[in-house]
Amino acid sequence: MALKQQRLYVNIDHVATLRQARRGAEPDPIEAVAICEAAGADGITAHLREDRRHIQDADIERLAQSVTTYFNLEIACVEEMIAIARRLRPQQVTLVPERREEVTTEGGLDIISDPTRISDAISALSDAGIRTSLFIDPAPSVVEMARKLGVPAIEFHTGSYAHSPPGDGGALAALRKASHQAAGLGLAVHAGHGLTVTNVGPVASILEIEELNIGHSIVSRAVFTGLHAAVTEMRQAMEAARGHLSERTETRTR
């Protein structure tokens, strides 16, 4: 299998979190877009939550106008959000689970108990020319259901990997296995959640993963280094892991 180039989409939600701490105008997430893109981000991700805790409706309107790379909008699978997406037409929508009391997205989307609701959303988005990705757990039955739903892409929740104790390789093994399974079924494989410069390597080096969505650690690091440097650092960490992989792939095929 040829090594696919891996994209970095920067999630800018927490630039808005900082702004919402004072309900003011700064920092402006739209200003972050140009900096991330100049630093090598392949796309921009933002999550319009039902509780509007960080990104606001006006931000999404402006993001749809200002992203020059690729705009990945994360939303819950509910009518209100699907209607917003259909009106603004980002290139990609990632459907995510949402619970108001959660601090962040805690697990993958349940696509098994009500598949019709998910397939209706995929059709509605596809009719508007939007590619859909489903944020799911790296489990064989969930991947199989994603294939049945006919979605073009899935994003694996990497939270279990990111939070697993040192030396416990179980979550990474599950991620590798599920990535292989999903790619074999023709699904584009994305991943994200809880990834940092320190832990991104093993995920970036999974052959089948073509897109990483990373937010909190980049914005946190940016407080000290500036956003351009924080994005560059993440890109370099991904490329270092991918570079080793491509050397190994070339040696094997020589």
Supply the minimum distance, in Å, between the C-beta of residue 150 and ligand PXP. Answer: 20
For ligand PXP, give the closer residue by CB, 104 or 225. Answer: 104
Q: How many residues bind ligand PXP (CB under 6 A)?
A: 19
Q: Is 157 a catalytic residue?
A: no
Q: State the Cα–Cα distance between residues 174 and 192, nearest whole angstrom.
A: 14
Among 71, 135, 156, 161, binds ligand PXP (CB under 6 A): 135
Q: Does 74 bind ligand PXP (CB under 6 A)?
A: yes
Residue 236 interacting with ligand PXP (CB under 6 A): no
Cα–Cα distance, 225 to 51 (Å, whole number): 30
Name the residue nearer to ligand PXP (CB basis): 20 or 246: 20
Among 12, 143, 172, 195, binds ligand PXP (CB under 6 A): 195
> Does position 192 bind ligand PXP by CB under 6 A?
yes
> Which of 14, 54, 157, 193 is flagged as catalytic?
193
Determine the Cα–Cα distance for residues 120 and 150; give it in Å rounded to an integer.
Answer: 11
Comparison of 6 and 94: residue with beta carbon closer to ligand PXP:
94
Structure tokens at 31: 């200003």
Nearer to ligand PXP, 80 or 247 (CB): 80
Give me the residues that bind ligand PXP (CB under 6 A), please.
11, 13, 47, 74, 94, 96, 104-105, 135, 155, 192-195, 213-217
